[in-house]
C-alpha cells in the first residue's frame, strides 16, 4: 500500500496524459471495416498472409483481420528504430523474425504508423529478398510530413499531422497501448524523459 505522498504507476491515469483525442474509437472502427472490405476484394480467391509488425500493430491487426472476410493467416515480426525515446533513430534492428517462409505467398504488411519510412523501407527490402508472390502494405496511420524515405503504401487508414500519438496499440515507454482511441500525448509527458 502506498502512502499519500507516494503514488505507484498503477495509480497514474493514462488518460490524464492525453492532450486531445485525434481519432475516436468509432471513427477507427468504421475506417478499419472499410480497409477490410477493400483488402478482401483485392485478395479474393487468393492466399493471404498478414504480417504484423510488433508491438504497435497488434490491436489494429486483431480488428483488421476480422474485417477481412476472406481466409487469412498471420505471422509476426518485431523491428525497432526508436529505442526508448520519441524520435526514430534510423537504425533498424530485427528483434523477432517470421516463423515460416513467405516465398510464393501474398504478403500484406500490417503497420501501426509510418513516420520517416526508414523502418518500413528496411523491412520491405528484407522481405522482398524472400520472394513473396506479392508484397503490399496497409498502415493505420501515416505521417507524410515526416517522410524521409519514399515508400509506396497500398492502404492508409488516416494521414495525421506530425504529433506524438498514442493509444490503440501505440505506446510511449510501453504505456498507453490500451487506450481505445488515437490521442496526442501531452508534450510535458515526453519532454520530461531523460532520453
Q: Is position 115 annotated as part of the catalytic site?
A: yes
Three-state SS annotation for 13-32: CHHHHEEEEEECHHHHHHHH
Instruction: Select from 135, 139, 186 the least CA-distant residue to 159.
Output: 139
Considering the candidates 38, 115, 142, 154, report the single residue annotated as catalytic.
Answer: 115
Contacts of residue 148, defined as CB under 8 A and 6 or more positions apart, other chains included, come to 116, 117, 118
- Residue whose cell numbers read 487469412: 72
Q: Count of CB atoms within 10 A of residue 101's CB?
A: 10
Instruction: Select from 49, 125, 138, 119 the least CA-distant residue to 80.
Output: 119
SS3 191: helix
Within its chain, how far is the Cα of 160 from the centroid? Answer: 13
Q: Cite the DSSP H helix spans in 68-186.
A: 118-128
Q: At what angle do helices 25-42 and 58-67 cross, to 10 degrees?
A: 60
Q: Catalytic positions, please?
A: 115
Amino acid at each position: 500500500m502506498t502512502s499519500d505522498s507516494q503514488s505507484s504507476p498503477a495509480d497514474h491515469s493514462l488518460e490524464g496524459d492525453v492532450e486531445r483525442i485525434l481519432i475516436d474509437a468509432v471513427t477507427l472502427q468504421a475506417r478499419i471495416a472499410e480497409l477490410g472490405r477493400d483488402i478482401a476484394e483485392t485478395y479474393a480467391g487468393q492466399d493471404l498472409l498478414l504480417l504484423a509488425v510488433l508491438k504497435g500493430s497488434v490491436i489494429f491487426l486483431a480488428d483488421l483481420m476480422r474485417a477481412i472476410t476472406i481466409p487469412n493467416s498471420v505471422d509476426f515480426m518485431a523491428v525497432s528504430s526508436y529505442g526508448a525515446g520519441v524520435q526514430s533513430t534510423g537504425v533498424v534492428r530485427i528483434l523477432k523474425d517470421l516463423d515460416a517462409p513467405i516465398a510464393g505467398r501474398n504478403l500484406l504488411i500490417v503497420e501501426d504508423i509510418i513516420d520517416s519510412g526508414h523502418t518500413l523501407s528496411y523491412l520491405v527490402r528484407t522481405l522482398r529478398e524472400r520472394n513473396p508472390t506479392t508484397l503490399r502494405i496497409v498502415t493505420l496511420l501515416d505521417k507524410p510530413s515526416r517522410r524521409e524515405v519514399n515508400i509506396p503504401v497500398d492502404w492508409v487508414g488516416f494521414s495525421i499531422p506530425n504529433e506524438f500519438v498514442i493509444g490503440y496499440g501505440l505506446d510511449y515507454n510501453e504505456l498507453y497501448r490500451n487506450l481505445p482511441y488515437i490521442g496526442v500525448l501531452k508534450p510535458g509527458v515526453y519532454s520530461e524523459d531523460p532520453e
